[in-house]
Amino acid sequence: MQITRCASLFFLLTVICYSPTMQAHDPITTKVTFNKEVVRILERRCQGCHRDGGYAPMALETYDQVRPWAKAIKEEILERRMPPWNAAQGFADFSNDRSLTPLETELLVDWVEGGAPVGDAKNLPKPKSPDDDAEKPGLVVAGESSAPVKESRWISAWRFTPAGGAIQSAEFWIEDAAKKKTYLGNWSPPEQFVEWPDGVAQQLPAGSRVIVALHYVDNSAEASPAPHPPVSKNRLELFFSSKAPAHPVRHLDLACGANTIPSGLEALAVYPQNAMEMEALLPNGSMDVLGLFRPDFPSYHPTYFYRQPIAIPAGARIAAHSVDNKASCKAILAYSAELRRRR
């Protein structure tokens, strides 16, 4: 995909300066080891793409895979080219923030500069539990759409598993019997599982179906572009709440300028499709920043989930501005009725 290829170009150019054979005898001057600290950071921040069969050009799952890239990893994280994350720090707090914390950056740099030791195998994290023990989905969409559902359900979570690296992103929609579409969510790697807070869910009305819109990597410039995997190999799993939620999820389309909002609401997440800044203009003249989304990775458009819902009172407006000199900006705000005190 474009984001991975562009970002990885920096990665690969950096790496050619470092030979694994040159690193083999680096003196060990650090207590930070791969098996104890480093692998856990990579699991949290990198392995969603950097895994066998993943989107990145190399896997970073084992010591033997990571060690030859150690100095390149240091360069990438210090230049903030990896992990990809377009939301600027300090403007809003997102629960799915993939950025390295200062401590994680310090540990990785210390490990590289200290000789990149492997450490004791007993410190490796335990293998994850098999998926068979996980909650079973209420509906699985294999392909571009589901059959119409017979009864109304409430979607509390979903998980998307793409068929392969040819898929750059995906959007999910609910289409009712009258062919009207309502936004459900989207996917960009490495996101997989999305779950709404307790008491929050989106309705899947009786007679409606779920649509999966796939966006593929542009490989037209390649000499022998690989064929797209069968659409039926993609898998969207929907998980249902056992009861109607206290706070149904709704969505609001946002464009450049001042956007009017329904009566008071709580912002749960935002899906910006351009580089843009968003603020809530409050009736008392103050302002809450909802996010600044940079153009660093232009084809990377995840949904950003607020760590705490942001209450926006009745009478407020949401202002959106482009930050990369483009005339348009577009976003979708997921919200519920205003229910908790302001942050």
Model confidence at 220: pLDDT above 70: no
Instruction: Give the C-alpha separation, 224 to 203, whole Å.
Output: 44
- Band the pLDDT of 21: cuts 50, 70, 90: very low
Cis, peptide link before residue 190, omega less than 30° from 0:
yes
Cis, peptide link before residue 229, omega less than 30° from 0:
no
105 CA to centre of own chain: 20
Domain 132-246 CATH class label: mainly beta
**Nearest CA to 105 among 54, 23, 46?**
46
Instruction: Give the C-alpha separation, 274 to 323, whole Å.
Output: 9
Sheet holding 276-281, edge to edge: 257-260, 317-322, 276-281, 287-293
- Band the pLDDT of 17: cuts 50, 70, 90: very low
Domain boundaries, the chain: 2-123, 132-246, 250-337
Digit-coded pLDDT (tens) for 119-171: 999 999 988 765 544 679 999 999 899 999 999 999 999 999 988 767 888 99
Model confidence at 321: pLDDT above 60: yes
3-state secondary structure of 68: helix
- Between 168 and 327, residue with greater pLDDT: 168
Q: Quick one: fold of 250-337?
A: Jelly Rolls (2.60.120)
Other CB atoms closer than 10 Å to residue 194's CB: what's the count? 21
Digit-coded pLDDT (tens) for 255-275: 999 999 988 899 999 999 989
